[in-house]
Structure 1
């Protein structure tokens, strides 16, 4: 490819160019028979779309998992998308990659992360307290006070209080276990809220739609912009374009149905 392909896309044109280059590479990979060449093309596709994985990882930050771990899991999801994507399905790569990466990150939270993440200093302090308590109890013949524990481990009383308050945060509960007595038909995952991040949805919509919007003709793009960006009513759009409100409604239905069909992932992770 002679045209430089952007890896940090700031416009719909950039995303469309990246999508086109991605498809060319994937088509070349599907034709290649040499394992080394197939691996090189796979890595090139991953490099080209790394921004997508990083963007999804960024929107899951602040939920108790280290940023580096999140990005690594998102990149694994990207590699899975590259390996499993089928060019002949007719789905844009971005339409397959985004739900695949998101699914990989969600599975990581589901299977591997702690219920609560506490600072490392408190983790280490909990270890010291656990080692000091038996000795203190033996020496004092009673349960030690927070002040006595703090003096023994060389910490402030407030730190000991925080460490003791966080005790038990390392316990990982299976999301498949029953939620409680009498809830035999419900798993824990069924009763834990899973709020969706609206920023993540907007990011996904932008990434997935941009390459497709550039393929629409000028009138279709104008109709979408007037309706969903400018918030015009269908009657006003029709007046501007010299057509009836019914025609605008039919055009919108056709445009949205076409976009929805192109974005429908085949076999992607949810």
Structure 2
């Protein structure tokens, strides 16, 4: 136990906390005092039954006393642009995991044990939530390695490295390097309504530059494929199709025109359409 109890604490044998000091403002402790008191609280935590009021008090105090570790770790991710409060909350989850898994008998400083948990939780948060579209984890990791390799090779070569050079440097195939580059596009996204250009063209958005499917082109291709197939049909079959799909006559009306029964018209139509469909699919 520290030789000098901080002014923010007072002894509390009567509080039911096993004689531990009650820390009035645990988040205000200087790092040295926090380290010393943490040892005492961890020793007591190991003795208490989980779920009891004393256990909850000791665990909560340990969290508050060591939140400075979360603030320190969160500072590493300042460039990501997220709200600091959000990152601190995520890092606090890592701190809680570290407290629940820490063992004094390992003779390891708690700070050394906890920081990797905190940083890992923050990195996991970015990995799972920061990508605009879902990208497999191996490609997310490859994106980071690719950026590092490109920077290193660029400095060495004095130019942007080629795909083959990156593949050799990273011990990957060229296809994997290209795949990692494509995956990088999933990290950020832009709204189709985003304005493009100068102030004079504020009404021009990205959506104006994206093409649409032209069904007329598909129709032209279908007609171009169908024409030679129709020429192979006999004159009666072509007339039958003309009456049905151009003049839009019923099967009964077609039968009267051609002098056959409605059943025969139905059978002839089915046979002709089947041959045309087979020819279209074979192209």
TM-score strictly above 0.5: no
TM normalised by structure 2 equals 0.40
Structure with greater contact order relative to length (CA < 8 Å, sep ≥ 6)? 1
Q: Which has the larger radius of gyration?
A: 2
